[in-house]
């Protein structure tokens, strides 16, 4: 009887050992998979075009100008905020001494969903080209219909 009990205990111990080894192998495989996924994230291999998230804000540009020709400085601006796909918004603030107006227009694939002003179009273009945070536009009224003139300055 003792011999049967000893054999039963030995069989149970062997089975428990095999179950433990199987659980350990499964845990090791899961850990390897998690490490591989983390490495892919760090290396930028997840998402399209080698970025982690192509919808994240990436391209920014601001164009400052004197929209009201008040000779009060270039207090008006258009700010483009776009992702890698060229989707986002352009925010324009028309500021004068006695009034301020703010507009937001959607942008899809680098084009305005609504018609963009020349300054808004310049902000979107500068954002897409990566030349964005240092543009000042002079209105065409100030320069006799020569179009929009740009010079570098800090925004």
The DSSP result for the chain, as a single string, is -HHHHHHHHHHHHHHHHHHHHHHHHHHHHHHHHHHHHHHHHHHT-SSGGG-S-TTSEEEEEEEEE-TT--SS-S-EEEEEEEETTS-EEEEEEEE-SS-EEEEEEEEETTEESSPPPHHHHHHHHHHHHT-TTSEEEE-TTTTTTS--EEEE---
Q: Following CA atoms 51, 53, 55, 60 in sequence, which dihedral angle do they give, to the nearest 10 degrees?
A: -60
User: Model-level pTM?
Assistant: 0.54
More confident residue, 41 or 72: 41
Distance separating alpha carbons of residues 154 and 152, to the nearest angstrom = 7
Beta carbons of 123 and 63 less than 8 angstroms apart: yes
pLDDT over 80 (residue 93)? yes
> Where in the chain are the domains?
2-46, 57-152
pLDDT at 68: 78
pLDDT at 7 over 60: yes
Q: What is the pLDDT of residues 43-83, one digit of tens each?
A: 665 555 555 577 788 889 999 988 877 666 778 899 999 98
């Amino acid at each position: 009887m003792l011999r049967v009990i000893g054999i039963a205990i030995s069989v149970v111990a062997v089975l428990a050992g095999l179950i433990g080894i199987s659980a350990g192998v499964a845990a090791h495989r899961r850990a390897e998979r998690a490490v591989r996924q983390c490495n892919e994230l760090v290396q930028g291999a997840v998402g399209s075009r080698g970025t982690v998230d192509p919808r994240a804000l990436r391209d920014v540009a601001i164009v400052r100008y004197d929209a009201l020709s008040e000779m009060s400085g270039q207090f008006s601006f258009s700010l483009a905020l776009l992702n890698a796909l060229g989707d986002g918004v352009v925010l324009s603030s028309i500021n004068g001494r006695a009034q301020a107006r703010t507009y937001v227009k959607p942008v899809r694939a680098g084009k305005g969903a609504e018609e963009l002003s020349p300054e808004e179009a310049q902000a979107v273009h500068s954002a897409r080209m990566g030349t964005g945070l240092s543009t000042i536009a002079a209105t065409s009224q100030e320069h006799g219909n020569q179009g929009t003139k740009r010079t570098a300055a800090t925004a």
